[in-house]
Amino acid sequence: MMNSRPPLSRRRLLLGSVALPLLLAGCGQDLKKSEPQAVDLFIESDGDFLAFKPDELTCRTGAVVRLTFHHAGRFLSARHNWVLVYPNQMEAVDKDYEKTEGVISPGDSRVIAVVPMCDKGDTMMTQFTAPAPGDYPFFCSTPGHAVDMNGILHVTA
């Protein structure tokens, strides 16, 4: 009778060797889920109008956003950029950079992301991590443009 069944300790060992790879596979999936989501967003000037197209964008909080901006103007030589700021900072930031023709200083804590100034036909990119859920204004900081050339990035939970 004793010889017909493997000893208990050996059965446990066999079970263990099956369970371990499953456990590791489960861990791997969890790691992939917690990796930040990568998102590509595209926005352009509305031809030669002082407006963004689209003027609303959406992404998830924590996403690594690769945003591409295109200056779609064909006739006017005005430069455009794309500046994302924290809520209620647009007017103040816009005013502060009148003296630099809208060129934003690196390290301004009110600013989340900037696409550099573009001449017509240019396409430029910026990358940033989406902040906490909320509505964040973006605008063009060329002096006089922000009043019309602005929009909202909706960051969802």
Is 140 one of the binding residues for Cu ion (CB under 5 A)? yes
Closest approach of Cβ 46 to Cu ion, in Å?
11
Is 145 one of the binding residues for Cu ion (CB under 5 A)? yes
Is 57 one of the binding residues for Cu ion (CB under 5 A)? no
Q: Which of 80, 84, 90, 114 binds Cu ion (CB under 5 A)?
A: 80
Q: Which of 82, 142, 146, 155 binds Cu ion (CB under 5 A)?
A: 142
Region binding Cu ion by CB under 5 A among candidate stretches 3-11, 15-23, 53-61, 79-87 = 79-87
DSSP code of 84?
E
The residue of the chain with the least Cβ separation from Cu ion equals 140
C-alpha–C-alpha distance, residues 37 and 60, integer Å: 8
Is 70 one of the binding residues for Cu ion (CB under 5 A)? no
C-alpha–C-alpha distance, residues 3 and 108, integer Å: 77
- 42 half-sphere exposure, CB direction, 13 A CA radius: 4
Closest approach of Cβ 38 to Cu ion, in Å?
28
Closest to 50 measured CA to CA, from 152, 151, 121: 151
| Whole-Å CA distances, 10 to 6, 14, 17 | 6, 6, 11
Q: Which residues bind Cu ion (CB under 5 A)?
A: 80, 140, 142, 145, 149
